Amino acid sequence: MRPVKYFCARRGTARAAEVSAAETDAPYARVKDLPEKLGADGTTITVGDPGVALTVHLYEDPQCPYRKCKESEVFGGGPELRAATIRREANTEYTLASLLDDRAGGSGSKKAVNALRAALGEDRFAEYHEALYTHQPEESADGYTDALLLELASQVEGLRGPKFDTAVKTTKYQACVTASQKAYERAGDEENPKARARPLL
């Protein structure tokens, strides 16, 4: 992208501003450097540069059918979207569902969504999300247990600690889990996972 140029009275200032603008457009070095935040609605999690033109909004249950999510997040479009986010070509929004708990029984989806929200509080959502889908358990009533969620969190540098561990064990973000599921339902059809882009591709 061509750097933005600023013309100032002081000699040399324009060049410094030009370099600064170019650096602002530089790709992120790695996943852990991606900015992430919770939206004003309390449910949408945004990863990447919020100023880019393309936004891909993902709606997903962490316990979605094993093969379908594995193909999407690990072997399919997931890595490409992640790479585009790192290159500042897109940003990614997430609405996390827990509908499979109601269908299969158990609380694995709710536990995983709660843990992901806790990871956001530590600025480690993107890395932890990647870890959960890379090591997604086979479909079962309680695929994601507290023990597994904490074990996977140990793979993310700087995530484990009393604050995060307690949030996982006590389901600290239950209200967010419930609100996120309602937001998923308001989005329409029950296809899982699903993606929508703005502007439309």
Per-residue pLDDT tens over the stretch 114-165: 999 999 999 999 999 999 988 888 766 578 999 999 999 999 999 999 999 9
For the chain, the average pLDDT equals 82
Cα angle vertex 27, ends 23, 31, to 5°? 135
Contacts 24+ apart (CB under 8 A), 9-18: none
Let me know: does 127 contact 28? Beta carbons within 8 Å: no
What residues form DSSP beta bridges with 46?
Answer: 37, 93
Give pLDDT, residue 140.
62
In the sheet that holds 91-96, the strands lie side by side as 36-38, 45-47, 91-96, 55-60, 194-198
Answer yes or no: is pLDDT of 16 > 50.
Answer: no
Give pLDDT, residue 195.
76
Per-residue pLDDT tens over the stretch 31-69: 999 999 999 999 999 999 999 999 999 999 998 865 455
Answer yes or no: is pLDDT of 12 > 60.
Answer: no
Q: Using CA atoms, how far apart are residues 111 and 129, in angstroms rounded to an integer?
A: 13
Amino acid 168 reads V
Domains and their CATH numbers in the chain: 1-28 (no CATH), 34-198 (3.40.30.10)
Instruction: Using CB atoms within 10 Å of the CB of residue 120, give its burial: 0 to 12 exposed, 13 to 18 middle, 19+ buried.
Output: buried
Please name which of 78, 187, 77, 189 lies closest in space to residue 132, comparing C-alpha atoms: 78
Alpha carbon 104 to its chain's center: 24
